Amino acid sequence: MSPLVLLGSLGTLLSTVAIVPHLLLAVRMRKPSGSPFAWSLGAVCSAVWFAYGLVDGDFLVAAPGLVTIPVGLLLAAWSHREQEAPAALPAMVVLPPWEPPLDVVRAGDTIEMPRVVA
């Protein structure tokens, strides 16, 4: 086995195992961490690499998808279900008209800078 294949095998193994702690933490805490979008994006990326590996005939590229796609989809669905609904916003907030402070002197068309007296 060539050193390049060994390196690829190590990378495949590490990238596949990297998702396991997230799954174990979610199971232990009974709540997944991360956003549904992030997990969905990770699953889609894994699916693209999986398809590429299958088309290219490279099992080292495709293999992580066998683990990362289902786990990513599971965590995406689970984290989506666990998200709280956003609090309702008031229908309309009426603010009083803004008046500049009295100590601000108008200089030209802006009120940010006081007038410089020469």
**How many structural domains comprise the chain?**
1
In a domain, 11, yes or no: yes
In a domain, 118, yes or no: no
CATH number at 34 reads: 1.20.1280.290
What is the C-alpha separation between 101 and 117, in angstroms, rounded? 19
Nearest to 82 by CA among 32, 39, 22: 32
Threshold 0.85, pTM exceeds:
no
What is the C-alpha separation between 115 and 99, in angstroms, rounded? 18
Residue tagged 């495709």 (tokens): 62
In a domain, 95, yes or no: no
| pLDDT tens track for 9-32 | 888 888 888 888 888 888 898 888
| Residue 52 belongs to domain spanning | 3-82
In a domain, 53, yes or no: yes
| pLDDT tens track for 48-101 | 999 999 999 988 889 889 999 999 999 999 888 877 656 666 666 677 776 666
In a domain, 102, yes or no: no
